[in-house]
Amino acid sequence: MTRNRDQNETRPRNPLPLVRRLIEQRLPAGWTIVMDLQPTIEAGSSWASRWLRPDAVFEITASDGTMSRLVVEVKSRADPRDVDRVAAMTDGQLLLVASYLPRRTREALGSRGISYADATGNIRIVVDRPAVYIEAQGAPADPWRQDDKPLKSLRGSGAGAAVRSLLDFRPPYGIRELAGKSGASLSSLSRVADLLYGEKLLERDSRNGIVDLDWEGVLRRWSEDYEFFKANKNVLPVLAPRGPRSLMESLHRLQDRYALSGAAAATFFAPVPAESVVVYAPDPGAVVAQLDLRLSRGNAWNALLAAPYGSVVLKRIQVKEGLNVVSPSQLAADLLSLPGRGSSEAEDLISWMRRNEPDWRN
């Protein structure tokens, strides 16, 4: 079980001792692991031409005396694109160690057969002799994210606007061109593109223009950091006495700008039940008064009102049956982060997005 880390804890400067203990705890009785911080590689070994000196070597010894050496590479951070460079150095006995390894990096390492471990307890070690297979789940997100440099995550209104722009417009394009089309900040677009490039979710040409984008991967990556209730402002759970469909019909008389999201909006794209309604509006309190809604103090709500995290939420909307509906890219992100059936409804919507890309990407 992963221990909940105190928010005041800082990122470990050297994760090796902690990682060694985490591995030791998962070895069979009678097995040992020894860490050598000043290892040497024999001249005739397959590592000699690739390493000046590794960061460490872990020697794992079974109860019968059989021993295997894992050559350790320590990274302050490893993105999926780094895995290609790491793989070029390995003959299968490499262990990549970091304070935290993102999910996509772990998946890339696993697909290449490279062992890994981080200080939160995400571990996968495969050794043939002595036979070792350790797999454990640690933190699903970086617990030290506040220590990272800006835009190591996709949280925040600037990052959200940049991601929406990348999703809603099909490449190829340059960053300046995209900023002009979308209205997103040039600096936010540039930093978000750098992050996504490191995670192999977009490709660039020799002039740094964006030539390809894995839109579904970018959407899912955004949803790891985007949290509806934290990202948006003044979120009000309300009860529409006559149900979601009646509330949707009443939006026609709303005087303020608004955009519909949630399961009710997804019904325009995929066959999902309209169990809840999300309405974005600059002043959620005014919507409560105009549409005669009731504020909910418990779980008995069938609608959410929210002031959007940024102006991009009300941009590139689609009009369906006379209603303003958020862009499918925004709708999918909302569904992936909403409670209840949101994730299954998001998958239905994403399937529609795959089949109908020209209908929602410019």
Domain count, the chain: 3
Per-residue pLDDT averaged across 284-298, rounded? 88
For residue 334, being part of any structural domain is answered with yes
The residue among 282, 295, 349 whose CA lies nearest residue 318 is 349
For residue 6, being part of any structural domain is answered with no
- Residue where a domain terminates, one of 145, 174, 198: 145
Strands 277-280 and 323-325, sheet pairing:
unpaired
Which of 50-59, 224-233, 316-325 is predicted least confidently?
50-59
Q: For position 181, which CATH number holds?
A: 1.10.10.10
Strands 277-280 and 303-307, sheet pairing:
parallel
For residue 133, being part of any structural domain is answered with yes
Q: Domain check: are 236 and 354 in the same one?
A: yes
Query: Collapsing DSSP states into helix, strand and coil, what is residue 35?
Result: strand
For residue 2, being part of any structural domain is answered with no
- Residue where a domain terminates, one of 225, 244, 261: 225
For residue 256, being part of any structural domain is answered with yes
Between CA 315 and CA 301 the distance in angstroms is 27
Q: Domain check: are 212 and 272 in the same one?
A: no
Query: Collapsing DSSP states into helix, strand and coil, what is residue 260?
Result: strand
The pLDDT confidence band at residue 7, using thresholds 50, 70 and 90, is very low
Both tokens assigned to 33: 């692991």
Q: For position 264, which CATH number holds?
A: 3.30.460
Convert the pLDDT of each residue in 138-171 to its tens digit: 998 888 765 445 457 899 999 999 999 999 999 9
Q: Domain check: are 176 and 237 in the same one?
A: no
Range of the domain at 92: 16-145
Please work out, in degrees rounded to the nearest 5, the angle formed at the alpha carbon of residue 60 by the alpha carbons of 55 and 63.
Answer: 165
Between CA 134 and CA 232 the distance in angstroms is 40
The pLDDT confidence band at residue 12, using thresholds 50, 70 and 90, is confident
For residue 3, being part of any structural domain is answered with no
Sign of CA dihedral 171, 172, 177, 181: negative
Q: Domain check: are 20 and 131 in the same one?
A: yes
Q: Domain check: are 135 and 164 in the same one?
A: no
Residue type, 317: I
**Residues 200, 81: contact at Cβ < 8 Å?**
yes
Q: Domain check: are 183 and 270 in the same one?
A: no
Convert the pLDDT of each residue in 245-289 to its tens digit: 888 889 988 878 999 999 999 999 988 776 679 999 999 999 999
For residue 55, being part of any structural domain is answered with yes
C-beta neighbour count of 336 within 10 angstroms: 21
Q: Domain check: are 27 and 122 in the same one?
A: yes
Q: Domain check: are 320 and 344 in the same one?
A: yes
Predicted confidence at residue 342, as pLDDT, reads 65
For residue 196, being part of any structural domain is answered with yes
Between CA 220 and CA 167 the distance in angstroms is 11
- Residue where a domain terminates, one of 111, 145, 179: 145
Peptide bond into 15 cis (omega under 30): no
Q: Domain check: are 214 and 114 in the same one?
A: no
- Cα–Cα distances in angstroms (integers) from residue 41 to residues 16, 56, 94, 125, in the given order: 19, 11, 13, 21
pTM, 2 dp = 0.70
Between CA 293 and CA 319 the distance in angstroms is 24
Both tokens assigned to 129: 């002799």
Q: Domain check: are 159 and 282 in the same one?
A: no
- Residue 8 confidence (pLDDT) above 80: no
Q: Domain check: are 181 and 267 in the same one?
A: no
Q: Domain check: are 119 and 209 in the same one?
A: no
Both tokens assigned to 169: 């417009």
Predicted confidence at residue 144, as pLDDT, reads 79
> What does DSSP assign to residue 253?
G
Convert the pLDDT of each residue in 236-247 to its tens digit: 999 888 888 888
Predicted confidence at residue 150, as pLDDT, reads 46
